[in-house]
Structure 1
Amino acid sequence: MATAPAPNDPDALHLPGILSTEQLYRSADYLVHAQEPDGAIPWFPGGHADVWDHVECAMALTVTGLLVPEHAEAARRAYRWLSTSRHPNGGWPAKFRQGSPVTGLREANHAAYPAVGVFHHLLTTGDTAFAEELWPTVESGLEFVLALRGDHGEILWARDEDGSPGDHALLTVCSSVHHALRCGASLGARLGRERPEWDAAADRLAVLINDREELFADRSRFSMDWFYPILGGAVRGDDAKARLADHWDTFVVPGLGVRCVSDQPWVTAAESSELVLTLTAMGETDTAVRILREVQHLRDPDDGVYWTGYQFAEQVRWPVERSTWTTAAVVLAVDALTRTTPGSRVFLHSWDTESVVV
């Protein structure tokens, strides 16, 4: 791989022979087009929104916003929407439609992920004032999450409409929460708002993810349960390599990408891009580039937007939608591979150093 470019060089956001800078910025235009007047970014124009995928889109727009002011403003509007859409008792409703919540269920990973997004924005833009503005939103989200801790320190997956906690924890959710707690603690430290208890909670989650996987409900058919412990930064080094090797052939379809679930002939661009992020954090950049190249069959040549997935037994795109967060995941994967922005270190778990996880 070529030497990493100077941080915040927007023209460096490309992979020769795979995606050009112009193609990536054109892809990100779709996220702006889908954004609603209140700032929410739904799954597709006119569709529903959820906070986790909304934040993924905001991060992608922050990256492309280095070159396109319209994208930068859309990212800020997206983050400000988080402040105005919170549930009065903490967290966010799991689903919104045209600005209104359609459920009282509040999921832990949704509440945690703004910490990753706001920290990513600060690293990318250096805008401390904006991070200060969003700090109460980050803090509220993480405190909601920590109130869902179970007996061992695991995070129960959600709080129901009546306020009762869920009855189980999920490995992918806890891996994402681990990532968010690390980002939130680092964000707080940079703003002079130390939160050592967040790091302590992340430490406990890392132990459980590595040593007590039986505590989590079995979702092993999902590829996210396979790689998210690594993507979330809880599993590292030789353990990470062994984890990927154990189920590589189960989930990776040569020439097509990564399955969403092990028992269906269905690859998705988002899971493929998130595996790219995982591999990049491990230093496996050649394999990461290959996976990203192979999933380009899901790119719509007309406007650069990505279809969600491909059912390869029937040889059809399925579902017939072009999800915003799928395009966002591709942008973030390229940013990590090229180290174009300092925000990419959020996914490399290297925001205090230039190194990557190995």
Structure 2
Amino acid sequence: MTTFSRGSGRTERLVLPGVLTAEQVTGTVAGIAAAQRADGAIPWFRGHHLDPWDHVEAAMALDAAGEHGRAEAAYRWLARHQNPDGSWYAAYADGAADEPTDRGRESNFVAYVAVGVWHHYLATGDDAFLDSMWPTVYAAVEFVLRLQQPGGQIGWKREEDGTPVTDALLTGSSSVHQALRCALAIAEHREEPQPDWELATGLLAHAIRRHPERFLDKSRYSMDWYYPVLGGAVTGVAAKERIEEGWERFVVPGLGVRCVLPNPWVTGGESCELALALWVMGESDRAVQILQWIQHLRAEDGMYWTGYVYDDDAVWPEERTTWTAGSLLLAAAALGGDEATTAVFGGERLPAGLEQDCCA
């Protein structure tokens, strides 16, 4: 059985007036830790599945809270169970590596390990960890870039039989953009230049900024609205214009952010991610307000319900996920100035890749 070290001195940065007290932070961190298996896997909740993206999200929250041993165990789980092609399956039953329940391999799920590994390094300064995880990150990035299309966008996934799905998702590609920048930061730190990755990152950023027609139309989903900002491809005036354009459609004052239109359903994860995007834009006051609104989703055990159907005054689905709690802690960490979290989401300290502009 794995023994996890316990961090200290970090949780004060997660305390936000009107959002989280020190006691509440402790409860939420404990809730995520309680869901983690002895082998490091972090499923949505015990008895449900693990997906690699949300597994990393929860691990990053543990690092932000100073639980570095638990976070490292989560990344070691990924390293041990990476497929030969550099991927992971889309879902594993309760985090059991020998029980995949969805053998598709989704590009953004695979790429996100780079964000988590760089975040862990920045939180700990552990060069031995970074060196040992480099082959895992490298293989994951290579898998993802084999799905990049000529227009720069990233194909969604490979099916179980290896068939590539070349249709691209804006949210997924935006997440991949952040991951590629973190992978480039790791390569730069190791003094191992990756010019192909730099070119791929620039092509992807241009597609996200200038070519919405290269992505499937998922504009009903709030993630497609804010993720180009959260993933760092859309910045400055363009970011502010994008967020303002969708604000009234997706934001429900006092409750949070809709997941998908026209459903009367606000969700904790999307709300926290929007708060992070607002912080990225320099709008911390609005970010804090969003986090204050969603405290109606907090359960007695310190975890957060996935969503709330406000027309029916009903929590739905009746589940409290590690990734919802994780996204809240990461938003709080960014607002509190946690250095590792601000570095991977703020973007100023991440390589941008080689800028491309086919529209010049």
Alignment TM-score, normalising by the size of structure 2: 0.92
| Structure 1 equivalent of residue 54 of structure 2 | 53
SS in 2 for 1:314: coil
Deviation at 1:273, TM superposition (A): 0.3
| Structure 2 equivalent of residue 105 of structure 1 | 104
Which of residues 79, 94, 97 in structure 2 aligns to 1:83?
Answer: 79
| Number of equivalenced pairs | 340
| Structure 1 equivalent of residue 150 of structure 2 | 151
The C-alpha deviation readout for 1:179-238, integer Å capped at 9, x for no partner, is 100010011111222223222211111111111101100111110000000000000011
The C-alpha deviation readout for 1:66-116, integer Å capped at 9, x for no partner, is xxxxx3221111000001111222311111014121232100001100000
| Structure 1 equivalent of residue 254 of structure 2 | 255
SS in 2 for 1:133: helix
Q: Which amino acid aligns with 1:349?
A: G
Q: Which amino acid aligns with 2:45?
A: F
Whole-angstrom distance in 1 between the partners of 2:198 and 2:290: 33
Deviation at 1:9, TM superposition (A): 5.0
Which of residues 313, 316, 321 in structure 1 aligns to 2:314?
Answer: 316
Gaps of 5+ in 2: 1-8, 352-360
Tell me if the contact between 1:12 and 1:21 (Cα under 8 Å) persists in the aligned partners: no
SS in 2 for 1:166: strand
Tell me if the contact between 1:185 and 1:196 (Cα under 8 Å) persists in the aligned partners: no
Tell me if the contact between 1:10 and 1:340 (Cα under 8 Å) persists in the aligned partners: no
| Structure 1 equivalent of residue 291 of structure 2 | 292
| Structure 2 equivalent of residue 304 of structure 1 | 302
Whole-angstrom distance in 2 between the partners of 1:12 and 1:335: 6
Deviation at 1:351, TM superposition (A): 2.9
Whole-angstrom distance in 2 between the partners of 1:72 and 1:46: 24
Whole-angstrom distance in 2 between the partners of 1:200 and 1:58: 29
Whole-angstrom distance in 1 between the partners of 2:267 and 2:251: 11
Tell me if the contact between 1:120 and 1:344 (Cα under 8 Å) persists in the aligned partners: no
| Structure 1 equivalent of residue 336 of structure 2 | 338
SS in 1 for 2:102: coil
Deviation at 1:126, TM superposition (A): 1.0
Percent identity reads 49
Q: Which amino acid aligns with 1:245?
A: E
Q: Does 1:230 align with 2:229?
A: yes
Whole-angstrom distance in 2 between the partners of 1:279 and 1:339: 14
Q: Which amino acid aligns with 1:335?
A: A
Whole-angstrom distance in 1 between the partners of 2:127 and 2:176: 23
Tell me if the contact between 1:121 and 1:343 (Cα under 8 Å) persists in the aligned partners: no
SS in 1 for 2:155: coil
Alignment TM-score, normalising by the size of structure 1: 0.92
Deviation at 1:37, TM superposition (A): 2.5
Q: Which amino acid aligns with 2:245?
A: D
Whole-angstrom distance in 1 between the partners of 2:138 and 2:190: 12
Q: Residues 82 and 279 of structure 1: is their aligned pair in 2 closer, same or farther, counting only changes over 3 Å? A: same
Please, what is the CA RMSD of the aligned residues?
Answer: 1.4
Deviation at 1:352, TM superposition (A): 6.1
The C-alpha deviation readout for 1:235-273, integer Å capped at 9, x for no partner, is 001100110111110000000000000210000111000
TM alignment of 1:1-358, pairs within 5 A: 9-65=10-66, 71-98=67-94, 99=96, 100-300=99-299, 302-351=300-349
Q: Residues 205 and 273 of structure 1: is their aligned pair in 2 closer, same or farther, counting only changes over 3 Å? A: same
